[in-house]
A = this chain, B = another copy of it.
Amino acid sequence: MSEWRKDLIVDRWVIIAPDRAGRPDEFRQQRPVAPSLAGGKCPFCEGNERSTPGEIAAVRERGSAADAPGWRVRVVPNKYPAVVEGAELAHPPGKPFECRPGAGVHEVIIESPRHRTLAGQLTAEEMSDVVGMYCQRLGQHRRLSRFACGLLFKNVGQAAGASLAHLHSQLVVLPMVPAVLQAELDGARRFANATGECVFCRMLQLERQADERVVEVTPGFVALCPYASRFAMETWIVPRQHSQHVDLLSTEAQVELAELLQRTLTKLERVLADPTYNMIVHTAPFDTNPVEHYHWHIEILPRQATAAGFEWGSGYHINTVSPEAAARLLQSAEIHHSPRQVDPI
């Protein structure tokens, strides 16, 4: 039996339809495996720094030179940017057609000097460096940028849209607040106007009471499968303290977040048949308009199913794994090592 569920924050319905999981799939078992480009060819591996544009920032050994080995996390401009600083229009088409230059910034955050393709292969220290760099880059653009907001995301696996397997995140700085974030800002404002509360804070309270969809609670964060999960095994990480901007986390909180993120992604990678997902950091726009009702968080969207005609035609999602079942699977997923002690392959 399927049911329609509405997201708490935005006006978005999903169909939870576990019975559909059993349908035949001629294409199953045919997911391609990424060839390893390690051993000289991967542009993101240590030693191949010249394959990318010059670095913008890095976590480096003291004394090592920019664009040379010796780094742990490295940030470079995207060689094939979707948006560029200072873009200008060639041929404005005139009303009612509307267009703007493809202005913005597009950076790549390379998460390890070694050819790592899954979060479970990173150490907690490596993940801490990555989260620290997320905060550094977002904070810098928020303080200095003339643009509207920063969208930080990661694509892991082909079905999630990755074109290179070596773990990397992307930061796109946008000239306008995107539709997805605007819908969340609007939803959070509606809820705050109606109840005087933050919808995310209220959700955490309700989810901890219900205890059906919570994966893990740490002093500062909750990992949970949201009530109206669009994707099978969808998982969010939400800070327990109400805050708009991820980049304002203390160094200690960054480390706690990194460890939780590492555990959560490792569990997902073990539970998923194909460890393929998008991870998206939802954080408030740069501008100083009041957004006190907003609450930053991270959404991990596994891509086991393919959005098809139904999803693109309706805007609704069909999810064949209920978030209650997803949370149970993740709770019982064993991590065979403490991430701090891992000896990475």
State the A residues within 8 Å of B (CB): 1-6, 8, 11-13, 15-17, 19-20, 22-27, 30-32, 34-35, 37, 43, 79-84, 87-90, 93, 96-103, 151, 153-155, 158-165, 170, 172, 174-176, 178-181, 183, 202, 206, 210, 227, 278-280, 282, 299, 301, 305-316, 318
Contacts and interface: CB of A to CB of B under 8 A. Distances in A.
A278 B308 contact: yes
A12 B179 contact: yes
A167 B274 CA distance: 27
B318 A82 contact: yes
A102 B309 contact: no
A123 B280 CA distance: 45
Contacts of A4: 99-103, 175
Nearest to A231: B312
B308 A312 contact: no
Contact of A313 (B2, B98, B163, B178): B178
A80 B66 CA distance: 56
Contacts of A8: 96-97
A26 B20 contact: no
Nearest to A191: B96
Given A1-B87, A3-B101, A15-B83, A26 B163 contact: yes
Given A26-B37, A84-B2, A280 B318 contact: no
Contacts of A24: 43, 163-164
Contacts of A89: 3
A28 to B, nearest CB: 8
B27 A34 contact: yes
A6 B179 contact: no
Contacts of A6: 97-99
Contact of A81 (B2, B79, B90, B210): B2
B2 A80 contact: no
Contact of A35 (B26, B81, B164): B26
